[in-house]
Chain A
Amino acid sequence: MNEKIGRVYFGILGIITLIFGISDLIVTIGGNNFSWSILEISSDMFRGGWGGLIVISAGLFYLSSLKNFLEIHQLSRALMASMLIWILAGTDIFVKITESIPGGEEGPWFNSLEGFLGTYAPPYPPVIFLLPFSLIILFFLSKRKKA
C-alpha cells in the first residue's frame, strides 16, 4: 500500500517539479520576471537558469524513482530529488534572511520589525512551494526504517 501511495504521490510531485523547472528556464530565456498571485519566477540567469536546471533534475529524479519505489536505490533517488529542492529553497530562504537583518544604506544599523517581517512577504519562487511537499520523503524513510 505504501509503495502505491509513494508512486502516485511522487509521480504527481515529479511532474509538477518538472513543469516548474521548465517554466524557470522559459522565463529566463524570455528575460522578464513572471509574477502571478504569490508565485514569482525570476529571469535572473543564476536563479532562473541554473536553478531551473536543478529543479528539472529534481523532477526527473522523482520520476525515475517510481518503479519499485520502496527499494533502497529507488528511494534514494526520491530522497536526492528532495535534497536538491531543500538546497535550492534553503539558499532562497538564506538570501531572504541576509536581506532582512541590515537596516539599508541610509537607515539604522538593523532593520525595523516591519521591515524585517516584510522581507518574508510573498511572492515566492516555485521551490518554496515545493519545499513542504518534498518533505514527505522523510515519512517514507521513517516507515522503511521501522520495517
Chain B
Amino acid sequence: MRLTADERWNLIEEISNKVLTYGKFKHTLKDALGELTVKPLTGIPIAIVVLYGFWSVFSSFAGTLCTDGFFVKLFDGHFLPWIQSIFPGKGGWIYYIFVGDPVADNCFEAFGVLTSGLFVAIGVVLPAIFIFYLMMALLEDVGYMPRLAVLVDTIFHRIGLHGYAIIPSILALGCNVPAVTATRILETKKQRFIMMTLLAIFIPCGAQLGIMQEVIPESIGIVLLYLIFGYFLFGFILNKIVPGKSPEILIDVPPYQKPLWNNISRKLRMRLGGFLKIAVPFVLFGCAIVNILYLTGTIDWLAKTLTPLLTGWFGVPGETVGPLVAAFLRKDLAVAQLSVIEMSRYQMITSVVLVSIYFPCVATFVMLLKEGWKNLLGSLAVLITVIFFYGGLINVIWKLLGVQ
C-alpha cells in the first residue's frame, strides 16, 4: 500500500495521539542546578570551584599525606640505607645503575633504578595518579563533564576545537596515553591533529604534576600559566594554518545523578592498571638509560655541545641536558632530576616548562604513531618550532623583567 505525504502525516498524528500523553514540564532542582552550571555567568565560578577542589584534594592527598607523610620517610629513612648497604659491588657500574650515588641521603638524589626509580613510580606518582583518576571518575559519573564541555565550547572554537576537547585535555592531566585515544571523539582530522599536538606539548601528566608539586610547589602556578597560555596561543595559530574543517556539534547533556561506586571502582582499576603496566616500566627503564648515558660520558658530551644553545637561547644551565634526555622516557623523572641541579628559581621555571613542551614521553610517542605517522611528523614539526620559539620567549620575558 502506498501513501501520499499528507496521508503519512495524518497516520503519524493518529498514532501519536494514541500513544502520547501531553503534560506540563516541571523544572526539578536538578534541572535548575544543571542550567546554572552551563550558563557562563554562573557556570564559570562553579567551574573554578570544581577545579579548586580538584587541585586542593589532589595536592593534599598525594603530596602532604602520601608522599611527604609516609613515602619520603619509608624510602629515605629505611629503604635507601638498606639497599645501599646490601647491594653488592659498591662503586661499580651495576651499583651505579641500580642504586645510584652511594652517599646520597635521599631518593631524589640517588638516581638509581631501585632508588629514585621506585620512589618516583610508587612514592610520588602512584598516589597522584590514584587521586586524580578517582576525582575524574567522580566528576564523570555525577554528570559534570558534559556541562563543562558546553561551558568551554566557545573558547575551544577559537582554537578550532569544540567543547568535548575538554575531555582529552583533562584526561591528559592524568596521562597523555589515554588522552591521545580520547581525541577520537573529535570529528575531523584537523581537530584531532590540533588536539593531539596540543596535549602532547602543553599538558603535563599527573605524574609530572605530582613531582612538580613535590619539588617546586612555589613555582607550579607560573609553570602552569605558561603552559595554559602556550596551549591557547599555539592552538589559535594551528587553527589558522592547518587546513580542514571544525564543525559545530550538538552535545547531549545527561541529568545530574548519584555516582555509582561500582562504575568508579571499575574505571579506577582500569586506569590504574594501565598506568602500572605502561608508566612504571618506563620510569625504571628511563633511570637505567640515563645512568648508562652518564656512565658512557654521552650526557657530558651533549652538555658541552649544547651549552651555548641552552644558556644562550633558553637561559638554563648546560646540566639540564641530562633531564632533557630523560624527559623523552619519562617527564616526571626529568623534573625530579632538574630538582638537584643548582639554578635560580626562574631558570628552574624555564627548565620545567622546557621539559613539558619538549618531546612527548615515549609512551605518548608510540600512541601518536598508532594514530598515523603523518600526524606524528606534523606534531613533531610543531613541537620543535614551539620549543625554540616559546622557550626563547620565556627567557626574553625573564630578561625584560630583570629577574633571570
Contact residues of A with B, CB < 8 Å?
Answer: 45-46, 50-51, 53-54, 57, 61, 72-73, 75-77, 79-80, 83-84, 87-88, 90-91, 94-95, 98-99, 101-102, 105, 109, 141
Contacts and interface: CB of A to CB of B under 8 A. Distances in A.
Contacts of B50: 87
B24 interface: no
Q: List the 9 closest A-B pairs by CB distance, nearest first.
A: A102-B69, A57-B45, A76-B32, A98-B65, A91-B56, A98-B60, A98-B64, A95-B60, A87-B53
Task: Classify the secondary structure of A's interface with B.
Answer: helix
B28 A72 contact: yes
A31 to B, nearest CB: 14
A66 to B, nearest CB: 15
27 contacts: A46-B52, A46-B55, A50-B52, A54-B52, A57-B49, A73-B32, A76-B29, A76-B32, A76-B33, A76-B35, A79-B33, A80-B33, A80-B36, A80-B42, A80-B46, A84-B49, A87-B52, A90-B53, A94-B61, A95-B64, A98-B61, A98-B64, A98-B65, A101-B65, A101-B69, A102-B68, A141-B29
A51 B52 contact: yes
Interface residues of B, number: 28
Interface of B: 27-29, 32-33, 35-36, 42, 45-46, 48-50, 52-53, 55-57, 60-61, 64-65, 68-70, 72-73, 221
Contacts of B48: 50, 53-54, 57
Interface centre among B28, B53, B61 (most CB of A within 10 A): B53
Contacts of A80: 33, 36, 42, 46
Given A54-B49, A105-B73, A94 B57 contact: yes
Given A51-B52, A54-B52, A88-B49, A73 B64 contact: no
Nearest to A111: B69
Contact of A109 (B28, B65, B73): B73
A52 to B, nearest CB: 11
A6 to B, nearest CB: 15
A84 B46 contact: yes
B67 to A, nearest CB: 10
B302 to A, nearest CB: 36
Given A91-B53, A95-B64, A54 B70 contact: no
A77 B45 contact: no
A77 B42 CA distance: 9
B60 A73 contact: no
Given A102-B70, A109-B70, A141-B29, A76 B49 contact: no
A87 B45 CA distance: 12
Nearest to A57: B45
Contact of A84 (B45, B56, B221): B45
A62 to B, nearest CB: 12
Nearest to B32: A76
Given A87-B53, A90-B53, A102 B65 contact: yes
